[in-house]
Structures are given as C-alpha cells and as structure tokens.
Amino acid sequence: MQPLQFFDSHCHVDGPEFDVDRDVAMARAREAGVRAMIAIGAVGDISSAHRAVALATAHPNVWATVATHPHDVAAMTDAWWDTLRQLAAHPRVVAVGETGLDFYYDHAPRGLQHDAFVRFIELAREVDKAVVCHIRDAHAEAQAILRAHAHGLRVIIHCFTGSPDDARIYAEAGYYVSFSGIATYKTAGDIRAALAMVPHDQILLETDCPYLAPVPMRGRRNEPSYLVHTAAVVAAELGVTPQYLSQKTWANTLAAFSIADAPALDSV
C-alpha cells in the first residue's frame, strides 16, 4: 500500500512558538506522513512574511505566502505594503494571504479590513498567485468582496468556520475550502456537515498551527504532524479511506497553489 502523503496547506511554523524545536517538529511531520507544508507569512508585523519566505527558501518541501492578517492591518504603512509587494513576487511564494475579514475579534476597524482585503486580492492578481482568505463571522461580507474582485483567481477559504450553506456558496464559486482541527471538535457538527457541500477536488487540509490542535491533542501546541488526526475525522465523515483523502488533498493543494515542483515522496 502506498504510504500516506499529506500536505499541510496552512501553518505558522515560522513563528516564535517553534523557535526551540522547529527542525524537530518538521521531522516529526515527515515521519507522520505530512510531507509538505505552506508557511503563512502574515501574523503580526512584516517580519512574519520575511520569516516564511526564508523558511521556504531553506526547505524544498515548504512554500510561503505573504500578507497581513486582518487583525493587524491598522498598523500597515506604505513601506510595509511595498515590502509585501516585492515579497509576493518571490518564486517560493505561492499565494497572497492570509487576508480577509474577522468580525469576531474586530482587532482592526472593519473598514480597514475591507480595504486591505480588496487590496490584497488585487496584489494576488498582479502577481498571478492564489489568495488565502481568513473569514470569521463575516461570510456574507467576504462573499460579496470575492464576487466583486476575485473573478478568475484561485481562492482558498482557510480554516473554514461557516455554515454548510456558506461552504456550498464557496464551492459553487470554484473556491477551495480548507478544514482544520476544528473539524474534530465535539461541538463542530456544522463544520463536519459542511464537508458534504464541497466536491472532493476542492477540499484542503491544514493545521493552522500552533493554534487549533485537533482531538486528541487539544490543549497542546499544534504542529504539522497533528494533521493526521484531522485527516482521520475528515475521511470518516466523507466515507473515504485515509489513502484516498491523502492523495486527493495532496493533488488539490498542488492545484490550489499552482505548485509544480513538489519533491518526490522519498526525497523529503
């Protein structure tokens, strides 16, 4: 039987939470079958983007995204935007993101979130790369922005937390929908139900580590190796084998991020 080969489509292994054991955590991921990952350079200040690009440059099985999280857009300056535009063109950067709307925490004014989301979508179009969307308690608003501005772009709805109907709307628009460890939580019935709304060739898996560790690791720092626990729940909900889900989501991630040079399984 072919070994499982999972792709963590959204993780923050560049962050300070992994400074003491990053290499060990990445080795654990490979041993668990998580053979590739995308580091999201968008948390806090501009240093996150630099870290993610550096990590992707150093590791053949890591790619990067760059942007500014909606929590942090109020701090952005013209120089910050200029730096992100330059980094977005880097060959190891495969998407702009995570960007979007977070009306749950409202750490930045909603108008600024809206304007930054539109501007990042335009940047994704400028560099011809995907856009990774963070959407929390703002699905109707985000759907309107995406309809107006993201036509023709590859769109990833990261860490899906909406209703089954939201998942259907995203899927019908042709977007990829990514499921995190939240799908394993007892209270996340709607998110598991949303899986049925998304065609198998539009489903992605992610950890969003160090956040949102799945059951049975909940309460710990999340890491890429824990993706296998989320995959087991998603496969069971879909009524497919882990092998099928592994192959399908690996191919989906390559397509979503237009990655053509993923290392062979035995090389990573």
- What are the residues facing 93 on neighbouring strands? 64
pLDDT at 1: 55
> What pLDDT shows up at residue 137?
97
How confident is the model at residue 85, as a pLDDT? 98
What is the reported pLDDT for 78?
Answer: 97
pTM of the predicted model as reported, rounded to 2 decimal places: 0.96
Give the CA radius of gyration of the chain.
Answer: 17
Produce one character per residue of 220-235: b if its CB has 16 or more CB atoms within 10 Å, e if not: eebbbbbbbbbbebbb
In this predicted structure, what is the pLDDT of residue 262?
Answer: 72
Q: Is residue 67 within 8 Å of 39, Cβ to Cβ? A: no
Measured CA to CA in angstroms, residue 48 lies from 204, 215, 238 at distances of: 23, 28, 35
Question: Residue 267 has what pLDDT?
Answer: 45
**What gap in Å lies between CA 234 and CA 205, rounded to an integer?**
9
Q: Along the 268 residues of the chain, how does pLDDT read in single tens digits?
A: 567 899 999 999 999 999 999 999 999 999 999 999 999 999 999 999 999 999 999 999 999 999 999 999 999 999 999 999 999 999 999 999 999 999 999 999 999 999 999 999 999 999 999 999 999 999 999 999 999 999 999 999 999 999 999 999 999 999 999 999 999 999 999 999 999 999 999 999 999 999 999 999 999 999 999 999 999 999 999 999 999 999 999 999 999 999 987 765 544 4
List, edge to edge, every strand of the sheet that includes 155-158: 6-11, 34-41, 62-66, 93-102, 130-136, 155-158, 176-179, 203-205
With beta carbons less than 8 A apart as the criterion, state whether 139 and 162 touch: yes
